[in-house]
Chain A
Amino acid sequence: GQNIDQPTEMTATEGAIVQINCTYQTSGFNGLFWYQQHAGEAPTFLSYNVLDGLEEKGRFSSFLSRSKGYSYLLLKELQMKDSASYLCAVLDSNYQLIWGAGTKLIIKP
Protein backbone atom coordinates (compact mmCIF):
# COMPACT_ATOMS: atom_id res chain seq x y z
CA GLY A 1 0.00 0.00 0.00
CA GLN A 2 0.89 3.63 -0.15
CA ASN A 3 2.02 5.32 2.98
CA ILE A 4 3.30 8.71 4.05
CA ASP A 5 4.56 9.29 7.57
CA GLN A 6 5.21 12.55 9.33
CA PRO A 7 5.17 13.48 13.02
CA THR A 8 1.80 14.42 14.42
CA GLU A 9 2.93 17.47 16.34
CA MET A 10 6.07 19.51 16.96
CA THR A 11 6.82 22.46 19.19
CA ALA A 12 9.48 25.10 18.58
CA THR A 13 10.48 28.51 19.86
CA GLU A 14 10.08 31.79 18.03
CA GLY A 15 13.30 32.66 16.19
CA ALA A 16 14.56 29.07 16.18
CA ILE A 17 14.85 26.47 13.41
CA VAL A 18 12.66 23.41 13.02
CA GLN A 19 12.84 20.43 10.67
CA ILE A 20 9.72 18.45 9.79
CA ASN A 21 10.44 15.01 8.35
CA CYS A 22 8.39 13.01 5.90
CA THR A 23 8.99 9.45 4.74
CA TYR A 24 7.02 7.85 1.97
CA GLN A 25 6.31 4.55 0.26
CA THR A 26 4.29 5.02 -2.90
CA SER A 27 3.65 3.31 -6.22
CA GLY A 28 5.85 5.48 -8.37
CA PHE A 29 7.08 8.98 -7.74
CA ASN A 30 6.48 12.16 -9.68
CA GLY A 31 7.41 14.68 -7.04
CA LEU A 32 6.86 15.65 -3.44
CA PHE A 33 4.98 18.69 -2.20
CA TRP A 34 4.88 20.55 1.08
CA TYR A 35 1.80 22.57 1.93
CA GLN A 36 1.03 24.85 4.85
CA GLN A 37 -2.46 24.88 6.26
CA HIS A 38 -3.76 27.25 8.91
CA ALA A 39 -6.78 26.13 10.91
CA GLY A 40 -9.99 26.55 8.97
CA GLU A 41 -8.25 27.41 5.73
CA ALA A 42 -7.28 25.50 2.60
CA PRO A 43 -3.66 24.40 2.10
CA THR A 44 -1.20 26.76 0.46
CA PHE A 45 1.73 25.61 -1.62
CA LEU A 46 5.21 25.82 -0.10
CA SER A 47 7.54 23.69 -2.21
CA TYR A 48 7.89 21.01 -4.85
CA ASN A 49 10.85 18.61 -5.12
CA VAL A 50 11.29 16.07 -7.87
CA LEU A 51 15.10 15.78 -7.92
CA ASP A 52 17.36 14.93 -5.00
CA GLY A 53 18.75 17.80 -3.04
CA LEU A 54 17.84 20.96 -1.23
CA GLU A 55 15.53 23.67 -2.55
CA GLU A 56 15.73 26.96 -0.67
CA LYS A 57 13.03 29.58 -0.74
CA GLY A 58 13.46 32.35 1.78
CA ARG A 59 13.02 31.06 5.32
CA PHE A 60 11.76 27.72 4.06
CA SER A 61 13.85 24.94 2.52
CA SER A 62 12.84 21.47 1.38
CA PHE A 63 15.08 18.46 0.90
CA LEU A 64 14.48 15.24 -0.99
CA SER A 65 16.22 11.88 -1.14
CA ARG A 66 14.39 9.60 -3.55
CA SER A 67 16.55 6.57 -2.76
CA LYS A 68 15.60 6.85 0.91
CA GLY A 69 11.99 7.85 0.34
CA TYR A 70 12.61 10.84 2.59
CA SER A 71 12.02 14.54 2.62
CA TYR A 72 12.19 17.31 5.16
CA LEU A 73 10.90 20.85 5.40
CA LEU A 74 13.21 23.24 7.21
CA LEU A 75 11.82 26.43 8.67
CA LYS A 76 14.27 29.09 9.86
CA GLU A 77 13.79 32.20 11.97
CA LEU A 78 10.44 30.95 13.14
CA GLN A 79 7.65 33.45 13.52
CA MET A 80 4.40 33.07 15.44
CA LYS A 81 2.49 33.10 12.15
CA ASP A 82 4.29 29.87 11.18
CA SER A 83 2.07 28.03 13.65
CA ALA A 84 0.10 25.79 11.30
CA SER A 85 -0.16 22.26 10.01
CA TYR A 86 2.40 21.21 7.41
CA LEU A 87 1.29 18.58 4.93
CA CYS A 88 3.61 16.35 2.94
CA ALA A 89 2.14 14.93 -0.28
CA VAL A 90 3.60 12.69 -2.97
CA LEU A 91 2.50 12.54 -6.59
CA ASP A 92 2.40 8.86 -7.49
CA SER A 93 2.75 7.11 -10.85
CA ASN A 94 -0.89 7.90 -11.69
CA TYR A 95 -0.28 11.57 -10.93
CA GLN A 96 -2.49 11.29 -7.89
CA LEU A 97 -1.54 13.15 -4.73
CA ILE A 98 -1.06 10.92 -1.70
CA TRP A 99 -1.32 12.96 1.48
CA GLY A 100 0.37 12.60 4.81
CA ALA A 101 -1.68 13.26 7.93
CA GLY A 102 0.07 16.55 8.55
CA THR A 103 2.34 17.87 11.27
CA LYS A 104 0.91 20.47 13.62
CA LEU A 105 3.65 22.97 14.42
CA ILE A 106 3.25 25.00 17.61
CA ILE A 107 5.45 28.07 17.98
CA LYS A 108 6.05 29.38 21.49
CA PRO A 109 7.33 32.87 22.30
Chain B
Amino acid sequence: GAVVSQHPSRVICKSGTSVKIECRSLDFQATTMFWYRQFPKKSLMLMATSNEGSKATYEQGVEKDKFLINHASLTLSTLTVTSAHPEDSSFYICSASTREWNEQFFGPGTRLTVL
Protein backbone atom coordinates (compact mmCIF):
# COMPACT_ATOMS: atom_id res chain seq x y z
CA GLY B 1 0.00 0.00 0.00
CA ALA B 2 0.86 3.71 0.19
CA VAL B 3 1.60 4.23 -3.50
CA VAL B 4 2.09 7.68 -4.95
CA SER B 5 2.17 8.32 -8.68
CA GLN B 6 3.35 11.29 -10.68
CA HIS B 7 2.56 12.28 -14.22
CA PRO B 8 4.31 12.89 -16.50
CA SER B 9 7.58 11.17 -15.66
CA ARG B 10 9.46 13.27 -18.20
CA VAL B 11 8.54 16.48 -19.97
CA ILE B 12 10.43 18.69 -22.39
CA CYS B 13 8.99 22.09 -23.14
CA LYS B 14 9.91 25.36 -24.75
CA SER B 15 10.85 28.39 -22.73
CA GLY B 16 7.82 30.50 -21.85
CA THR B 17 5.31 27.68 -21.75
CA SER B 18 3.60 26.30 -18.64
CA VAL B 19 3.85 22.72 -17.44
CA LYS B 20 1.53 20.89 -15.07
CA ILE B 21 2.69 17.97 -12.97
CA GLU B 22 0.19 15.74 -11.20
CA CYS B 23 0.75 13.86 -7.97
CA ARG B 24 -1.75 11.21 -6.89
CA SER B 25 -2.02 9.00 -3.83
CA LEU B 26 -3.43 5.78 -5.24
CA ASP B 27 -4.49 3.80 -2.20
CA PHE B 28 -4.78 6.27 0.65
CA GLN B 29 -6.10 9.73 1.33
CA ALA B 30 -3.29 12.23 1.63
CA THR B 31 -4.11 15.12 3.92
CA THR B 32 -0.73 16.65 3.20
CA MET B 33 1.35 16.67 0.05
CA PHE B 34 4.84 18.01 -0.36
CA TRP B 35 6.62 19.24 -3.46
CA TYR B 36 10.37 18.96 -3.71
CA ARG B 37 12.93 20.02 -6.25
CA GLN B 38 16.25 18.28 -6.68
CA PHE B 39 19.26 19.47 -8.64
CA PRO B 40 21.83 16.95 -9.87
CA LYS B 41 23.90 15.49 -7.05
CA LYS B 42 22.05 17.60 -4.48
CA SER B 43 19.59 16.73 -1.76
CA LEU B 44 15.88 17.39 -1.92
CA MET B 45 14.77 20.98 -1.50
CA LEU B 46 11.28 21.44 -0.12
CA MET B 47 9.33 23.90 -2.25
CA ALA B 48 5.94 23.87 -0.60
CA THR B 49 3.57 21.98 1.65
CA SER B 50 -0.06 21.70 0.69
CA ASN B 51 -3.00 20.58 2.80
CA GLU B 52 -6.19 19.48 1.10
CA GLY B 53 -8.59 22.32 0.64
CA SER B 54 -6.26 25.09 1.75
CA LYS B 55 -3.54 27.22 0.20
CA ALA B 56 -0.06 25.83 -0.06
CA THR B 57 2.66 27.02 2.29
CA TYR B 58 5.73 27.97 0.28
CA GLU B 59 9.29 27.82 1.51
CA GLN B 60 11.37 30.96 1.56
CA GLY B 61 12.72 31.84 -1.85
CA VAL B 62 10.10 29.86 -3.80
CA GLU B 63 7.93 32.07 -6.00
CA LYS B 64 4.30 31.16 -5.43
CA ASP B 65 3.20 32.88 -8.66
CA LYS B 66 5.65 30.82 -10.66
CA PHE B 67 5.04 27.49 -8.99
CA LEU B 68 1.29 27.14 -8.63
CA ILE B 69 0.16 24.36 -6.33
CA ASN B 70 -3.37 23.06 -6.09
CA HIS B 71 -4.49 20.35 -3.68
CA ALA B 72 -8.10 20.01 -4.70
CA SER B 73 -8.80 16.56 -3.28
CA LEU B 74 -7.39 14.06 -0.80
CA THR B 75 -5.77 12.12 -3.63
CA LEU B 76 -4.54 14.77 -6.05
CA SER B 77 -2.16 17.69 -5.96
CA THR B 78 -0.82 19.55 -8.98
CA LEU B 79 2.25 21.71 -9.48
CA THR B 80 2.19 24.09 -12.43
CA VAL B 81 5.45 25.69 -13.50
CA THR B 82 4.37 28.87 -15.24
CA SER B 83 6.37 30.59 -17.96
CA ALA B 84 9.10 28.02 -17.62
CA HIS B 85 12.73 28.97 -18.22
CA PRO B 86 15.81 26.78 -18.68
CA GLU B 87 16.82 27.38 -15.06
CA ASP B 88 13.58 25.65 -14.01
CA SER B 89 14.90 22.42 -15.48
CA SER B 90 15.11 20.02 -12.58
CA PHE B 91 13.78 16.84 -11.01
CA TYR B 92 10.47 17.53 -9.25
CA ILE B 93 9.29 15.03 -6.65
CA CYS B 94 6.07 14.94 -4.68
CA SER B 95 5.36 13.07 -1.50
CA ALA B 96 2.20 12.42 0.44
CA SER B 97 1.34 11.79 4.04
CA THR B 98 -1.62 11.51 6.36
CA ARG B 99 -2.20 12.90 9.85
CA GLU B 100 -1.75 9.44 11.30
CA TRP B 101 1.59 8.71 9.69
CA ASN B 102 4.95 10.31 10.23
CA GLU B 103 6.27 8.85 7.02
CA GLN B 104 6.13 10.51 3.63
CA PHE B 105 5.61 8.35 0.58
CA PHE B 106 7.32 9.60 -2.52
CA GLY B 107 6.19 9.70 -6.09
CA PRO B 108 8.64 8.56 -8.78
CA GLY B 109 9.51 12.11 -9.78
CA THR B 110 9.16 14.21 -12.92
CA ARG B 111 12.17 15.32 -14.91
CA LEU B 112 11.51 18.70 -16.48
CA THR B 113 13.72 20.01 -19.25
CA VAL B 114 13.07 23.52 -20.52
CA LEU B 115 14.69 24.34 -23.85
Chains A and B form a bound pair = yes
Q: Complex Cα distance A102/B45, Å?
A: 12
Q: Complex Cα distance A33/B95, Å?
A: 14
Which chain B residues lie closer than 8 Å to A41 at the CB level?
108-109
Q: How many A-B residue pairs have CB under 8 A?
A: 40
Q: Complex Cα distance A101/B44, Å?
A: 8
Q: Complex Cα distance A56/B40, Å?
A: 31
Q: Contact: B44 with A87, CB < 8 Å?
A: yes
| A96 CB–B CB distance under 8 Å | yes
Q: Whole-angstrom distance from the CB of A94 to the nearest CB of chain B?
A: 10
Q: Contact: B102 with A42, CB < 8 Å?
A: no
Q: Complex Cα distance A14/B106, Å?
A: 28
Q: Tell me which of A30, A40, A42, A45 contacts B107 (CB under 8 A).
A: A42
Q: Complex Cα distance A14/B21, Å?
A: 39
Q: Contact: A30 with B102, CB < 8 Å?
A: yes
| A97 CB–B CB distance under 8 Å | yes
Contact with A along B8-43 (1 / 0, CB 8 A): 000000000000000000000000001000000111
Q: How many residues of A contact B (CB 8 A)?
A: 21
Q: Complex Cα distance A41/B34, Å?
A: 17
The 5 closest A-B pairs by CB, nearest first: A42-B109, A42-B106, A101-B43, A102-B43, A99-B43
Which residues in B have some Cβ–Cβ distance to A below 8 Å? 34, 41-44, 46, 49, 91, 93, 102-109, 111
A-B pairs with beta carbons under 8 Å apart, 30 shown: A31-B102, A33-B103, A40-B111, A41-B108, A42-B93, A42-B106, A42-B107, A42-B108, A42-B109, A43-B106, A44-B106, A45-B106, A48-B103, A50-B102, A87-B44, A91-B102, A95-B102, A96-B46, A96-B49, A97-B34, A97-B46, A97-B104, A99-B43, A99-B44, A99-B46, A100-B43, A101-B42, A101-B43, A102-B42, A102-B43
